[in-house]
Chain A
Amino acid sequence: MSDTPMKRDQIKDLMNAILARQGKAPITDEAASLRDAGFRSLDFSELALRVERAVGRELNFDAALMRSISTAADVLNFFEKACQNA
């Protein structure tokens, strides 16, 4: 574990690894909708825990921001911001 905030690419790698484990294609276009990518709420929760494990602490998530998430880019922005605020 590390206290270093995660970079966007690292978060994207985690996201793609989750999709790969589900037998789904990786995100190539950040504008892709989560529905099209097959990235579901449990995947989102798994990603949150993997990010927390990677940074070595619990993160404070912005609930308002979370409600507006619809694309892969939104997910990456969300976790990037959560890491910066930690």
Chain B
Amino acid sequence: MPEVVRTNQILFDECPVTWSGLLDGAERKGLASRLREADRPAAIVVDDARAAFEAVALLAGGEWDGMMLGRERLSPAVREMLSNSGYAVIDAASGEVGVPKVPARTVAGRIALLTSGSTGVPKLVQHQWNTLFTGRNMQRVSARRWLVPYQAGTYAWYQVVTLGLFQKDQTLIPVDVSDLVRLFQVAGRTRADSISATPTFWRQAMLSVPRADLQAVPFRSITLGGETADRKILDWLLALYPSAQLTHIYASTEAGACIVVKDGQAGFPAGILERNDPSLPEVKLQDGRLWVRSPYSSRAAEGRADSWIDTGDLVERRGDRVFFVGRADSAMINVGGNKAYPADIEAVLLAHPAILWCRVRGVKSPFVGNLPEADVFFAEGRPAPEETDLVAFCKGKLPEYAIPRFWNRLESIPLQSTLKSPL
């Protein structure tokens, strides 16, 4: 189990607290006693960012078997699932301990997460700290100050938080994404230089934050994850932060971080399919789906690192790159026997100068099964195109059956707590 760098700092409301300080806070609240009292895997339910970090300080600093969960995620279905999995639910605020329906043995150093639930009810995924800590093999990590916009407890959140926990000189700055103008002001004042967020987060920022305020933050490292990084958002970020290292990552709660792309291009180099280094995740294509085998996966946490995982993501090799074209369970639109992929259609739409965001899906239609429908959000300061213009733009770039037939103009970009747009 990696060792916590107790002197690393976390900034709450711009005031620094060390992991040691957070651990003391957790002890003062009696959280360790509650974990001992539960004597089984435990889910610590928290109400705010500081409580989330205190719970993680405690879990990472000992040999506990547990998880941290924001109260907003504790739906009746999640509570039931935890109970059926043998997890005691500990309320960090009240100290109350809920006893689960079934007994379960603890596994030292295990840390559980919930999947985002974007494709259904969240699932419980169990890791070890060393599978969650994908930065463990990073050499010569320079001092960084990381903005942490992700929802506490998600896989993406842990990717940044484990850097703060286990790598020297990594400062974390949790931020509230409900006010992006303020978020970037805080980022500037706290001299944040690194951020990991979704493409949707950046599109929202592009809309609501003055360009000067965006550029005032001296980002050296920008990581995109959670959604496909398209050409448009990559170009926009490169133009805004020309000296930053722009990285996009393919990861999931179960498969772990698998693909890291640093060349500023969409998709990933096909060469990754051929790499053969047991310390790195392996990826392969099978029937158009992406499979991964990773030392950072939840399987590896169970001692089954050699087990391949079907990610359910559809990919297509085009020349020397591989592109994501959607989810196998929901993505393909069957238009009279022709396969249209939302990700491909979205990539074309996003190349239109007036389209800032879009989402494409199939709608059930008589005679051909399905037709593509697009939700679009137009950039401000430009005349909004007519549907005729959008169709004309798509012609020649998409087969006729893949050109959206229905267009919905949205007044805002939908943003979920995962910082992603809804599927």
Contacts and interface: CB of A to CB of B under 8 A. Distances in A.
A68 to B, nearest CB: 15
Contacts of A28: none
B387 interface: yes
A42 B336 contact: yes
B388 A41 contact: no
Contacts of A49: 363, 365-366, 371, 405-406
Residue of B336, B392, B401, B405 with most partner-chain A CB within 10 A: B405
Contacts of B363: 49
Q: Is chain A's interface secondary structure helix, strand, loop, or mixed overall?
A: helix
Interface in A44-76: 44-46, 48-49, 52, 58-59, 61
A42 B388 contact: no
Contacts, number: 44
A46 B371 contact: yes
B235 interface: no
B391 A42 contact: no
Contacts of A59: 366
A86 to B, nearest CB: 13
A8 B92 CA distance: 65
Interface in B383-404: 387-388, 391-392, 400-401
A42 B367 CA distance: 9
Interface string B222-261: 0000000000000000000000000000000000000000
Interface residues of A, number: 16
B366 A48 contact: yes
B335 interface: yes
Contacts of B367: 41, 44-45, 48, 61
B211 to A, nearest CB: 34
Contacts of A35: none
B366 A42 contact: no
B107 interface: no
Contact of B371 (A20, A22, A42): A42
A21 B387 contact: yes
Contacts of A61: 366-367
B368 interface: yes
A46 B365 contact: yes
Contacts of A45: 336, 365-368, 371
Contacts of B400: 40, 42
Central interface residue in A20, A49, A59, by most chain B CB within 10 Å: A49
Interface string B178-205: 0000000000000000000000000000
Contact of A20 (B365, B388, B401): B388
Given A22-B391, A45-B371, A61-B367, 10 more contacts: A20-B388, A41-B367, A41-B368, A42-B400, A42-B405, A45-B336, A45-B366, A48-B367, A49-B365, A49-B371
The 7 lowest CB-CB distance pairs between A and B, nearest first, are A48-B366, A45-B368, A45-B367, A49-B365, A46-B405, A21-B391, A21-B387
